[in-house]
Amino acid sequence: MEKLTEQELQQFLESHQGWQLVDEKWIEKKYRFKEYLNGVDFVQEIAKASEEINHHPFIAIDYKLVRVRLSSWKENGITPLDTKLAEQYDAIYETIKNV
Amino acid sequence: MEKLTEQELQQFLESHQGWQLVDEKWIEKKYRFKEYLNGVDFVQEIAKASEEINHHPFIAIDYKLVRVRLSSWKENGITPLDTKLAEQYDAIYETIKNV
């Protein structure tokens, strides 16, 4: 799989709220929850989606704040695999955030 | 709740494998899993145990490695609440690690 071009990456970041580039090779987003265990449920759902395509994010749970980072190691940057998962995570968040 | 004395803390660390003191105010342990989703299940179980007593760890999931940190903010250090949860996490790990 090939890395996104600079332009494709910018386009993704501009059209997906909350995602930002970190250390030039990660895309990161912080998701906030009303209840602690909702955040934990979110983590379980995004982990399942990630395992399905064998591409795994770094996840940090700091009380009601869940921080997610994606990168493609082999390509040392962002590929469509990362942005595809990012969109899935956002969709999962929509189903959980107001529970 | 009062902080552990230096001696109590050392005693805990010496008698609980894998736990170490970090930045003088956290106890931290890294748990390794054979399967990614086992680690995620572990996170859900320790989160439930933590929510029950309203005392929450910092959790990082880096593929099959789960890193957990505990501290008591109000006391700016380690209290019996932290070591009690640490022991619960170890017990939960025993039930999940070989699944």
Residue B3 and residue B24 in contact, taking contact as beta carbons nearer than 8 Å: no
CATH number at residue B80: 3.30.1360.20
Task: Indicate if ipTM > 0.85.
Answer: yes
| Contact call for B58 and A56, based on CB within 8 A | no
Question: Residue A1 domain-assigned?
Answer: no
Residue A39: both structure tokens together: 């955040």
Position B56 scores a pLDDT of: 97
Task: Count the domains in chain B.
Answer: 1
Question: Residue B38 domain-assigned?
Answer: yes
Q: What is the pLDDT of residues A71-88, one digit of tens each?
A: 999 999 999 999 999 999
| Residue B21 in this model has a pLDDT that exceeds 80 | yes
Question: Residue B1 domain-assigned?
Answer: no
A26 alpha carbon, distance to own chain's centre:
10
Position A98 scores a pLDDT of: 78
Nearest-CA distance A26 → chain B (Å): 14
Percent of chain B topping pLDDT 90:
95
CA torsion B76-B77-B82-B86 (nearest 10°) is 130
Backbone torsions φ then ψ of A39, nearest 5 degrees: -60, -40
pTM: 0.96
For residue B79, the enclosing domain spans: 6-96
Question: Residue B88 domain-assigned?
Answer: yes
| Contact call for B43 and A63, based on CB within 8 A | no
Give the number of C-alpha atoms closer than 13 A to the C-alpha of residue B57, restricted to the C-beta side. Answer: 30
Residue B31: both structure tokens together: 């748990």
| Contact call for A43 and B43, based on CB within 8 A | yes
Position B48 scores a pLDDT of: 98
Total number of residues shown for chain A: 99
